[in-house]
Amino acid sequence: MKAPKIAMIGAGSTVFAKNLLGDILSFEELGGADIRLFDVNQDRLNVTEQVAQRVAKAVGAAPTVSATTDRERALDGADFVINMIQVGGYKPATVTDFEVPKTYGLRQTIADTLGIGGIMRALRTVPVLLDMSRDMERLCPGTLHLNYVNPMAMNIWGLARQTPIRTVGLCHSVQHTAEELARDLGIPVEEIDYLAAGINHMAFYLKFEYEGQSLYPRLMELANSGKVPEWNRVRYEMLRRLGYFVTESSEHFSEYVPYFIKRGREDLIERFNVPLDEYPRRCESQIGGWEDLKKTLADPAADLEVKRSVEYGSLIIHSVVTGQPRVVYGNVMNSPSALQGGGAGKLIVNLPDECCVEVPCLVDRQGLQPTRIGKLPPQLAALMQTNINVQALTVEALVTGDREHIYHAAMLDPHTAAELDLDQIWALTGDLLKAHTDWLPHALLAAD
Catalytic residue ranges: 172
**Residue 9 CA: distances (Å) to CA of 38, 70, 71, 128, 427:** 5, 10, 8, 12, 35
**Amino acid code (one letter) for 251:** E
Q: Please give the span between the terminal C-alpha atoms of the chain, in angstroms, as a whole number.
A: 57
DSSP letters spanning 397-412: HHHH--THHHHHHHHH
* 3-class SS of residue 285: helix
Question: Among 442, 446, 409, 402, which Cα is nearest to 428's?
Answer: 409
Separation of alpha carbons 236 and 222, rounded Å: 8
Separation of alpha carbons 422 and 410, rounded Å: 9
DSSP letters spanning 32-55: T-EEEEE-S-HHHHHHHHHHHHHH
Q: Label residues 392-414 b or e (16+ Cβ within 10 Å = b).
A: bbbbbbbeeeebebbbbbbbbbb
Q: Label residues 94-124 b or e (16+ Cβ within 10 Å = b).
A: bebbbebbeebebbbbbbbbbbbbbbbbbbb
Omega of the bond leading into 151 within 30 degrees of 0 (cis): yes
DSSP letters spanning 61-116: ---EEEEES-HHHHHTT-SEEEE---TTIIIIIIHHHHHHHHTTT---S--SSSHH
Separation of alpha carbons 358 and 380, rounded Å: 14
Answer whether 162's CB lies under 8 Å from 441's CB. Answer: no
The burial class, CB within 10 Å (0-12 / 13-18 / 19+), for 196 is buried
Pairing status of strand 144-147 against strand 80-83:
parallel
